[in-house]
Structure 1
Amino acid sequence: MDSRESKQDDSNQEVKNLEVLAAKLALIGSALSTFGDALQTVSASIELQLLQMANEQQDSNKQNQELKQMQLEIDQLQKQFNQLKYRQNNN
């Protein structure tokens, strides 16, 4: 019976070792998954910042175009004003 108990103890120990190994692997897998989630979060944050910068650049370009158009209209109005002033002085 001692031999049978010894084999049973060895078998129980082997099962326990496998259970510990499985738990360690599960822990490592969980840690890797958490690390992957963190990387994904950082990536999403960077992409959001890039999108915001692109939107700001578009807004800035639009404002620059509007300012150029306004300056063009001001220049045209000044030219018309000067023409009217010249006509007024010559009459």
Structure 2
Amino acid sequence: MPDFDDDKIAGLEARLGRDDPRFARGLEKGRPRRPRRYRRGRAWLAVVIALAAVVAGAVLRQGLLLAAGLVMTAMAVNLCDSAARRRIRPPRP
């Protein structure tokens, strides 16, 4: 490989190491983790907690708890959407 390709690859490797160190370490070991943008464990936990608040508000007939649960559910579902996390870039000419 030419030297300029090695420099580009080294730059990409350094940037990946800074952006997502756990993914980079996994690549070195041969067992990569999912990249950060595809990990949604906390988002699913937020959805479960929010839905529990909705159910509790409906069962206990507490309108404020029900409304808060609905708002939390909307915010938690937004966390699960990977398209919202991506940066929107204009198309290249």
**What TM-score, normalized by structure 2, do the two folds share?**
0.33
Q: Which is higher, the Rg of structure 1 or of structure 2?
A: 1
Of the two structures, which has the highest relative contact order with CA contacts closer than 8 Å and spacing of 6 or more?
2
Which is richer in helix? 1
